[in-house]
């Protein structure tokens, strides 16, 4: 969005890079002002054509010459003004007036210098609504609802722009809509894996002599099991290629298993790619997972980290959910979703009740090129490796 400057001068410092998240109330830029400025005088005028355009007027001041940080505030009250001065408003308020079809110069501003605040706009709309509803002529404005802060009255909607992350997700998932998904879900017994994992972590802790060590989670084993199954079912690692001229589809078979790992991060969903899993040991997968996770949490993944995936793994179970219906992304034909691991009572071979740890594995495959039987067989391979993790040793390269 455009943010008009309150001062005429030369920008000396940008506090943020393009794409960074700016914090409300903190400086965006430092401006070297060419003359003294007076903050008591209006810094901008609005064009009177009802449009949103603004120009920065000349300002003279009691503030001293030097670097000033441009900050926009909407929280000081000093009486009610209307008209040209009332047109002072932050971009957020201007955006709101646009959404609610309000001419800002009609609004009583209760902020500093008659600055129009969000509450002023809501009050104006509320008043206009009640005035118009008593009139016999309904207009577009009369359908506008009262303040969204109210619990009563008709439903209201306010428009919120998508974040960069949501915009990206919107594009990616819209492309996924063209893929016919085949869902295959099964219950996997992770009791042995759980036992193996805690045994390995104990010995890693012992070997580290009380220092920090990279604790193995369940994922490195599951990632390795996926990769081993791809040797047997390479179609799951392929990509559908459609010739733009002839519209003829082909499959691009890929040699490397580059497994995208869905991660929940402060910025939203990110899917960094673990490269060449087939060539990695479980230990190396664990280290790489930690590295990618740390970068993802710090918002430091590069475009290279996020591209080139051939298949995806989404472990939503550490947050919750027994079942998941994962969505395949462009340039891939399958994805595995993992639900929450849980302990249940079960029967052993002799009919005794035993404690079991289980977890649901849900696969989606592109049904244009992967048939259900292939998906089921590949999923069985993964299930067998996860249920008997020592069997993976035989296939390690
Ligand atoms: N069920 C129950 N507990 C689980 C679990 C599951 N499926 N997966 C992990 N856990 C546990 C781990 O065992 C660990 O606990 P302990 O250390 O006590 O054993 C704890 O949760 C934290 O694990 P973790 O998250 O640090 O490690 P991970 O390797 O299992 O997972 C990662 C890493 C990045 C995949 C995960 O943190 C994450 O972000 N998951 C969300 C993915 C997501 O958002 N998917 C949706 C995509 S579509 O919108």
In this prediction, residue 2 carries a pLDDT of: 61
Active site residues: 367, 371
Average pLDDT over residues 311-339: 96
Q: Mean pLDDT lowest for which of 124-138, 291-305, 318-332?
A: 124-138
CB 95 within 8 A of CB 89: no
Q: Say if residue 203's pLDDT is above 70.
A: yes
- Residue bearing the CA closest to ligand 1, atom 4: 318
In this prediction, residue 397 carries a pLDDT of: 75
- From 165, 318, 337, 386, the mutation candidate for ligand 1 (largest count of ligand atoms within 8 A of CB) is 318
In this prediction, residue 60 carries a pLDDT of: 29
Q: Say if residue 64's pLDDT is above 60.
A: no
- From 315, 321, 344, the mutation candidate for ligand 1 (largest count of ligand atoms within 8 A of CB) is 315
Q: Mean pLDDT lowest for which of 139-153, 170-184, 232-246?
A: 139-153
DSSP 116: P
CB 274 within 8 A of CB 306: no
Share of the chain above pLDDT 70, in %: 78
In this prediction, residue 47 carries a pLDDT of: 32
Q: What is the position in ligand 1's atom list of the atom closest to the CA of 197? A: 19
Q: Mean pLDDT lowest for which of 49-58, 88-97, 321-330?
A: 49-58
Q: Say if residue 112's pLDDT is above 70.
A: yes
In this prediction, residue 61 carries a pLDDT of: 29
In this prediction, residue 17 carries a pLDDT of: 84
Q: Say if residue 145's pLDDT is above 50.
A: no
pLDDT tens for residues 74-109?
333 334 444 445 456 776 777 777 767 788 888 888
Average pLDDT over residues 184-192: 97
Matching residue, tokens 């809509």: 177
CA separation for the pair 178, 211 (Å, rounded): 50
* pLDDT interval class at 298 (50, 70, 90): very high
Distance 69 CA to ligand 1 centre (A): 42
CA separation for the pair 202, 184 (Å, rounded): 35
Which residues line the pocket of ligand 1, CB cutoff 6 A?
Answer: 217-219, 261-264, 269, 289, 293, 314-319, 338, 340-341, 359
Distance 316 CA to ligand 1 centre (A): 7
Q: Mean pLDDT lowest for which of 39-43, 50-54, 168-172?
A: 50-54
- Residue bearing the CA closest to ligand 1, atom 13: 217
pTM over 0.85: no
- Residue bearing the CA closest to ligand 1, atom 25: 318
Q: What is the position in ligand 1's atom list of the atom closest to the CA of 314? A: 45
Closest CA to 7 of 34, 26, 27: 34
Distance 319 CA to ligand 1 centre (A): 7
Q: How many CA atoms lie within 13 A of 121 on its CB side?
A: 25
In this prediction, residue 118 carries a pLDDT of: 78
Q: For all residues of the chain together, what is the average pLDDT?
A: 82
CA separation for the pair 156, 145 (Å, rounded): 6
Residue 189: strand pairing partners: 358
The sign of the dihedral angle between the CA atoms of 185, 190, 193, 197 is positive
Give the pairing of strands 54-56 and 44-46.
antiparallel
Q: What is the position in ligand 1's atom list of the atom closest to the CA of 338? A: 7
Distance 221 CA to ligand 1 centre (A): 13
Q: Mean pLDDT lowest for which of 25-29, 142-146, 172-176, 205-209?
A: 142-146
Q: To which H or E segment does residue 268 belong? A: strand 268-270
Count Cβ neighbours within 10 Å for each residue of 120-148 and write b for 16 or more, e otherwise.
Answer: bbbbbbbebbeebeeeeeeeeeeebbbee
CA separation for the pair 104, 84 (Å, rounded): 9
383 CB neighbour count, 10 Å cutoff: 17
CB 39 within 8 A of CB 61: yes
The sign of the dihedral angle between the CA atoms of 259, 262, 265, 269 is positive
- Residue bearing the CA closest to ligand 1, atom 7: 317
- Residue bearing the CA closest to ligand 1, atom 20: 318
In this prediction, residue 284 carries a pLDDT of: 95
DSSP string, 296-332: HHTT---TTTTS--SEEEEE-TTT--S-----PPTT-
In this prediction, residue 109 carries a pLDDT of: 83
Distance 184 CA to ligand 1 centre (A): 21
Share of the chain above pLDDT 90, in %: 57
pLDDT tens for residues 238-275?
999 999 999 999 999 999 999 999 999 998 999 999 99
Distance 191 CA to ligand 1 centre (A): 17
Burial label for 51, CB within 10 Å (0-12, 13-18, 19+), is exposed
Q: Say if residue 367's pLDDT is above 60.
A: yes
* pLDDT interval class at 196 (50, 70, 90): very high
């Amino acid at each position: 969005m455009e943010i008009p400057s309150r001062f005429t001068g030369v920008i000396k410092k940008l506090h943020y890079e393009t794409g960074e998240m700016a914090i409300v109330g903190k400086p965006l830029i430092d401006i070297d002002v060419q003359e003294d400025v007076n903050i008591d005088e209006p810094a901008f005028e609005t064009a009177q054509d009802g449009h949103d355009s603004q120009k920065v007027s000349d300002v003279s001041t009691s503030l001293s010459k030097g670097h000033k940080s441009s900050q926009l505030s909407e929280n000081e009250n000093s009486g009610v003004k209307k008209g040209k001065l009332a047109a002072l408003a932050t971009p957020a308020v201007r955006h709101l007036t646009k959404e609610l079809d309000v001419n800002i110069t009609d609004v009583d501003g209760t902020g500093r210098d008659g600055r129009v605040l969000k509450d002023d706009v809501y009050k104006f709309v509320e008043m206009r609504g009640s005035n118009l509803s008593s009139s016999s002529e309904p207009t577009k404005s009369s359908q506008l609802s009262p303040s969204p802060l109210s619990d009563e009255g008709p439903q209201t909607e306010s428009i919120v722009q998508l974040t960069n992350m949501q915009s990206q997700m919107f594009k990616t998932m819209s492309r996924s809509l063209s893929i016919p998904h085949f869902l295959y879900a099964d219950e996997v017994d992770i009791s042995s894996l759980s036992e193996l994992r805690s045994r390995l972590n104990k010995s890693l802790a012992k070997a580290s002599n009380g220092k920090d060590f990279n604790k193995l989670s369940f994922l490195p084993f599951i990632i390795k099991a996926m990769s081993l199954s791809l040797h047997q079912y390479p179609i799951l690692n392929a990509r559908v290629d459609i010739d733009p001229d002839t519209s003829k589809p082909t499959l691009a078979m890929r040699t490397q298993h580059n497994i995208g790992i869905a991660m929940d991060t402060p910025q939203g969903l990110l899917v960094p790619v673990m490269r060449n899993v087939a060539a990695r040991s479980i230990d190396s997968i664990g280290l790489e997972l930690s590295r990618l996770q740390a970068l993802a949490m710090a918002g430091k993944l590069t475009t290279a980290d996020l591209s080139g995936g051939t298949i995806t793994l989404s472990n939503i179970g550490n947050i919750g959910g027994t079942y998941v219906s994962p969505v395949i992304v462009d340039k891939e034909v399958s994805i595995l979703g993992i639900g929450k691991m849980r302990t249940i009572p079960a029967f052993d071979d002799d009919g005794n009740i035993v404690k079991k740890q289980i977890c649901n594995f849900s696969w989606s495959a592109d049904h244009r090129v992967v048939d259900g039987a292939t998906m089921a067989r590949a999923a069985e391979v993964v299930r067998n490796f996860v249920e008997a993790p020592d069997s993976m040793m035989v296939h390690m390269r």
